[in-house]
Amino acid sequence: MFGYVVPLKNELKVKELAQYRAYYCGLCHSLGSRFGEAAKLTLNYDSTFLALLLTGMNETKPAAVAYKKCIYKPFQKKRPFVQESEAMHFAADLNAALALYKFKDDWRDERKASALIGKNMLRPVEKRLSAERPKLISSIETGIAELSLLEKRMCDELDAPADCFARMMREAVKEAPLANEKIRPAFSSLFYHLGRWIYLMDAWEDRKRDGEKNNYNVFNVTGAGEERAAFLMHCSINEAIKAYELLDIAINRQILDNILYSGCESKTQHALGGQNEQPV
């Protein structure tokens, strides 16, 4: 995931923004405790959304919070960290696994020195998750391989690579801990359509850079313009919202609503050259 699934800051209450940041810091702590300090460098906002969502569906009371010093900001006062839980662990595992296979893919295709450093840095991720979450690893490995094949074939079907990435995301969250199994189909559908939106967003924003480097980009290959990109992005996020509205969420609802209804729309408009986004 690429850090697109974020809240719109100016529409969050102060308390909600603090709560969001507590999940972000808690996820950072979970990455470090499970895979070592280096894994914290892969932390992204998309996985924070997953942690908020899983906690919101599985718990009825606000998550426990501890106040700790951040080692990367030693001169600041203690900040709230959401404490570790099954939901936080799964979000950290997915975050780390996606980062690992992104590094592997970049090293295989482009021989980037940064990718080699990254994949070696994340060896503890591969070792632990291969033992503890083999299906998660397998789903991402298979999805990346299928996507790489489409790129090598210079696929000129606009929806094909987006669908491939979306299916990978749907498979990757199959073992996410859910208290109510009846909502798993809607949960899976949410991440399918979010995955599709994320792929399209990333490809649209990278099209100039990919063109300069002669890298595959589905928008460059198909020649699709802004109108088509906007249609596909909005369709994807609207379908994601439809699935989200079928979920039973007891806590974190206001923040999650903000992310899907406002944050994703703001990101889309920013990518298409509209309003400025506000960082969290």
CATH number, domain containing residue 260: 1.10.600.10
Query: Is 279 part of a structural domain of the chain?
Result: no
Cβ–Cβ contacts within 10 Å for residue 156, how many? 10
129: nearest Cα among 164, 89, 169: 89
Q: Tokens for 125?
A: 């991720």
Amino acid at 54: L
Which residues of the chain are under the pLDDT cut of 70? 1, 274-280
107 domain residue, yes or no: yes
**Which residues make Cβ contacts (< 8 Å) with residue 242, sequence separation at least 6?**
none
Q: How far apart are CA 217 and CA 204, in angstroms?
A: 8
Integer angstrom CA distances of residue 59 from 150, 179, 248: 40, 8, 11
Within-domain flag for 200:
yes
The tally of domains found in the chain comes to 1
Asked if residue 187 is part of any domain, the answer here is yes
Q: Is residue 213 part of a domain?
A: yes
- Asked, for residue 1, whether it belongs to a domain, the answer is no
**Residue 265 and residue 74 in contact, taking contact as beta carbons nearer than 8 Å:** no
Print the domain residue range for 206.
9-271
CA end-to-end span of the chain: 17
Q: Is residue 4 part of a domain?
A: no
- DSSP-assigned letter for residue 1: -
Residue 277 belongs to some domain of the structure: no
